[in-house]
Amino acid sequence: MRIHAVPVLTDNYVWLIEGDQRQCAVVDLGATEPVLAKIAELGLIPQAILLTHHHADHTQGIAAFRAHYPVPVYGPSTEAQTWVTNPQVDGAVIDLPHMGSFEVWLTPGHTRGHITFITDGAAFTGDTLFTAGCGRLFEGTAAQMLASLDRIATLPDATYIYCGHEYTADNLRFAQFVEPDNQSIARRAAQMTPMRLRGEPSVPATLAEEKQTNPFLRIRTPLLRQAIEKFAHQYLSDAQAFGVLRRWKDEFDGLPPLSFK
């Protein structure tokens, strides 16, 4: 299995999962043309679309793509009904010939029905777990997102995290701000500019690297927890601390507040 990145829109990634006989599955489809071009360049034969959630920057390329390749769309059972032909529930397993099997995990938080696709050595996390960050809480609660990330964190450390956006450098600026003494974050941040100047995606990263540098996987580490509680001026439960950290990141990014709990 080989995985190819197709950058689309401003900072989205479409992932092409190549099987051993040129079959491929497409993870999310925010645009059509660049994906068709990459498939033609590589000589791939699309077999399926794997859809993580309903947002337009992950779905708006599906209709035009399916006009060329009318393949099934495996996606959340509770959202994106317009696009999903094969609704998936938590724990379902999708067997794609020559590409392996993909387990479906319900990972709510960013949206209510967001799903993550788990295969051998890789997790396609959409807008749930980002490299060095996590998605905004548009529909779910902090407790839901924390539970989703905690579950993803149970995967083997060597698992590669393929997320939906190129946000690593931005996320690491916040990570450094909240954990200024974390040398792993500093080292990772220092790699970002040269990597991006070479035109390389910063995604995927291993779960091991995420556990060392992603503040949203680190809310139980004492120093970060102290920083979060200092920001909130009170002691916090895990879910509260997670919610405060997420709100802190939104403020840091100058984003309008979301009304989540």
Closer Cβ to Zn ion, 134 or 241, answer by number? 134
* CA distances in angstroms from 130 to 134, 165, 204, listed in the order given: 5, 7, 9
SS3 6: strand
Q: What angle do CA 75, 76, 78 make, to 5 degrees?
A: 145
Asked about 98 being catalytic, the answer comes back as no
Among 55, 136, 218, 247, binds Zn ion (CB under 5 A): 55
Q: Is 127 in the site for Zn ion (CB under 5 A)?
A: yes
Closer Cβ to Zn ion, 66 or 136, answer by number? 136
Asked about 53 being catalytic, the answer comes back as yes
Contacts of residue 214, Cβ cutoff 8 Å, sequence gap at least 6: 129, 130, 131, 132, 133, 134, 171, 175
**List 54, 114, 127, 170, catalytic entry:** 127
Contacts with Zn ion by CB under 5 A: the residue count is 2
Cβ at position 253, least distance to Zn ion in Å: 15
Do residues 52 and 37 touch, judged by C-beta distance below 8 A? Answer: no
Closer Cβ to Zn ion, 127 or 179, answer by number? 127
**List 28, 53, 114, 170, catalytic entry:** 53
DSSP 183-226: HHHHHHHHHHHHHHHTT-----EEHHHHHHH-GGG-TTSHHHHH
Q: Tokens 């077999």 — which residue? A: 47
Q: Is 79 in the site for Zn ion (CB under 5 A)?
A: no
Asked about 54 being catalytic, the answer comes back as no
Closer Cβ to Zn ion, 60 or 191, answer by number? 60
Cβ at position 53, least distance to Zn ion in Å: 6
Q: Is 166 in the site for Zn ion (CB under 5 A)?
A: no
Q: Which residues are designated catalytic?
A: 53, 55, 57-58, 110, 127, 165
Binding-site ranges for Zn ion (CB under 5 A): 55, 127
